[in-house]
Structure 1
């Protein structure tokens, strides 16, 4: 798509939002400054008829559905934050999760046969109509020849072309925002757009999703907080994915939380702990945990589906995340502030104590209070204002983490409005801290760093033929080093318990 075409589509997107009175909705008139109120009134001249009818969330959902898959992804994120945007608004957007109009079943059958290179009947005993329709694909209820019930995911026709066009429009919008809104610069619009675009592109190859489902299924099995359906590899291709049927009811179903015997507080706890265990313990996490991708069953069983977006964290990011969460749990704002500086999240020119003071101003009013008593919209406004004072910029490598944290917290609040996210997070973070930041762990990392330093030094000062000899010597040196520090380890484990408990 040319730049002119992308600009034209961007104007078209604005027109669709304006036509649906979703750009500057009339319900918010009292909050607009006079200049914006005048603009809103002018835009409203072009809206009317059926497009203007309904509540703000209904109008926005209609507009986003017309705008395509990337816009729908945004709507899905907004729909998880009833605490920020209101329950009615979130519910009106909920249809974007898995209730979009399906394409014809015969089209899906032909795509399966073309992708797998075999007749549908050679794999499935029955193949039903679509049971869920999302922005990129739809799912069908089917039964394998061996009797197992499965869900078959098939990409929408021509979806690759639509995503490519949307990506160019999003990239253009990000460039314009960065150019004309200096205040938005710290949100790194172009880097954020690139992250969203890349994640969406990866979702268009269902072989990658199958691999993600398999990897995360193994990770989830270790912790037990969440489960994943098994992959049926005979039914996997670039545009087709077959998974065993997920147990329970989709959380996007309004009746899902009314199941007899459902332990809603425990369910909310499990969701938070599942995400944190994946991110902290394994460095890989399901990065699209909205209600449409979660199935629940009594008493507190959670099964995740749709592994198209997988987030990953390296060891440094995992350590920073754990230390920040631990600092908040302990209300140690000085520690939280220092981690932000160590990680480079806050420029070094600022004061650590001043930033700690700012964090305390945000954290203390909400610590330990149930979710129902915390205004998330107010809290997020405060955080945005405070981080602006300290020149904090969005970290593109953490976009998926931040987006998933926001989604998971929103879903847990919907499951149990009085949920305490910090209490739910405590055992997972405490376990990670004891294992990875204890004195014993620090000694282990010191030994590993020393060994790596010896290897690097050998390569710097010796010719290639001497490296092998140096590595042999380094092995014996490492053994001596481990012998020297071995006596410290048992005592360090005890010290760790004293520090953390």
Structure 2
């Protein structure tokens, strides 16, 4: 795809920002600690991360397009990013100035293959909402289409002209940045950056494909077809394409508008309970979850009989739980039931949360502490625990997780995002809302449904342990025989590698000390012998370069 000068400038702008950020991280996190200034890096880290997040936020707002989505995506990456960055980006809104209506009309007509007056009886030029990828307008169907569909008022979403090229440019820049990140060992050991970018790219490609969103809307409606508490807009397929989506206009009371709810005779606390139950139904029953349940995407619709229902819109971001994650969650439930910290780590590896380089000893210790403190409590007991204690433990546990190369799959993150938004919305509707109340029956049912498999797994584990014990005497006899014959050997290659690393660190430490001595000596000689002082300071650069970048010789082997 040929790039215009504007696209090339956008590409370079993203790369310049990333390069500057990498240089800053390299200097403070790698160089300064190696020359004995780790305290300086630690003392300034929070402020630096906050400034970096603010600069990115300004860049995202300025560029628009996919970069706002990048900021929202980064705000959910508590597993790989410092809390200073995620907190700053948490409220980055996908709201930008509206596109010129003439451009929107031309894009819609090109997609639909007809003038707007032929496609719709009316089409409001003022958008209902404008986002970085597209904007929505109110319209009414023609008499023929209204008779065929049984609908009249509709919402038409139209993609911004040229957004495909902008998305392609942004993804190309992000892929290059990810390749840079993989060359930095401190980053590559903790984050699989290319995989993160590809997961993000897949989500974005789905979001800009309005036919995919239409299919998701119909699937959601089918899941809740028998549930009177839930509604979803009908899709007008005759007026929908990949870049234009026409949906039934289901606008009603915004779920966060508590004053309007009370005026309609609807109790916000009851709305909170139903909303939580519906979201949990999506997680536990249908495995197909609305991953962006913010107030603008959910309405409370009063019904003629005095009841009401929740109406969901915007199905561009959905979380479908894959079989691998579902199996890992099952393993996790069994491990939690048995208070098995190793089993929980195995489940995390099965889900794909832990990278292969993860040293799980510290995580296992943290999980053991978790079980020791809270493992024997039921939901009602957990509900009564001092919130400050839970907050303190959560902060300590979060620090442990962030210190490890932990990386959540995108689908799991979308699921966690949905649960987090649900909890926040319910608390806003009802300050006394407690998430444990709606969760308890689902968790109890899940454990009951899995009880048969749980007993099978326990039986299989018991048989495995008995088999190991049965073979143990023979294996001990074999070791003793090899010891008697002198054929028993030990593999100490890992110990040799550790010794090599220690010696290499020692070489670098000597170079760092030599650099410091030469630099100080040069400074002292500046007054009596400036020539020698300057020369000594210049030569001190050589041991500095060796301390930072030198390839040390390996330790001699005997």
- TM-score interval, smaller chain: 0.5 to 0.7
Q: 2:343: which partner in 1?
A: 338
Q: 2:370: which partner in 1?
A: 359
Give the CA deviation at 1:428.
3.0
Match for 2:452 among 421, 426, 439?
439
Q: Distance in 1 between matches of 2:47 and 2:74?
A: 26
SS of 2:62's partner is helix
Q: Are the structure 2 counterparts of residues 334 and 243 from structure 1 closer, same or farther at C-alpha, using a change threshold of 3 Å?
A: same
Q: Are the structure 2 counterparts of residues 397 and 139 from structure 1 closer, same or farther at C-alpha, using a change threshold of 3 Å?
A: closer
Q: CA offsets, 1:48-92, max 9 Å, x none?
A: xxxxxxxx98x97654321323332255568999xx999xx8999
* Cα pair 1:195 1:396 within 8 Å, conserved: yes
Runs of 5+ consecutive residues of structure 1 not aligned to the other structure: 17-30, 45-55, 444-501
- Larger CA deviation: 194-203 vs 387-396: 387-396
Q: 1:230: which partner in 2?
A: 234
Residue 130 (structure 2) pairs with residue 133 (structure 1): yes
Q: Distance in 1 between matches of 2:389 and 2:115?
A: 54
Match for 1:425 among 439, 442, 466?
439
Q: Are the structure 2 counterparts of residues 68 and 15 from structure 1 closer, same or farther at C-alpha, using a change threshold of 3 Å?
A: farther
Q: Distance in 2 between matches of 1:388 and 1:401?
A: 19
Match for 2:62 among 49, 54, 66?
66
Match for 2:270 among 266, 273, 288?
266
* Cα pair 1:322 1:433 within 8 Å, conserved: no
Q: Distance in 1 between matches of 2:274 and 2:316?
A: 22
Q: Are the structure 2 counterparts of residues 253 and 260 from structure 1 closer, same or farther at C-alpha, using a change threshold of 3 Å?
A: closer
Residue 314 (structure 2) pairs with residue 306 (structure 1): yes
Q: Distance in 2 between matches of 1:376 and 1:124?
A: 55
Q: Are the structure 2 counterparts of residues 141 and 256 from structure 1 closer, same or farther at C-alpha, using a change threshold of 3 Å?
A: farther
In the TM superposition, what are the counterparts of 1:72-83 in structure 2 within 5 Å? Answer: 72-76=68-72
Supply the RMSD in Å over aligned alpha carbons. 4.7
Give the CA deviation at 1:206.
0.9
Give the CA deviation at 1:123.
3.4
Match for 1:123 among 110, 119, 124?
119
Q: Are the structure 2 counterparts of residues 121 and 230 from structure 1 closer, same or farther at C-alpha, using a change threshold of 3 Å?
A: same
Q: 1:294: which partner in 2?
A: 298
- TM-score, normalised to structure 1's length? 0.65
Q: 1:144: which partner in 2?
A: 141
Match for 2:326 among 305, 318, 324?
318
Give the CA deviation at 1:241.
0.2
Q: Distance in 1 between matches of 2:191 and 2:265?
A: 44
- Larger CA deviation: 242-251 vs 129-138: 242-251
Give the CA deviation at 1:139.
0.6
SS of 1:115's partner is helix
* Cα pair 2:189 2:405 within 8 Å, conserved: no
Larger radius of gyration: 2
* Cα pair 1:207 1:236 within 8 Å, conserved: yes
Matched length:
407
- TM-score, normalised to structure 2's length? 0.60
Q: 2:194: which partner in 1?
A: 190
Give the CA deviation at 1:159.
0.8
Q: Distance in 2 between matches of 1:151 and 1:107?
A: 18
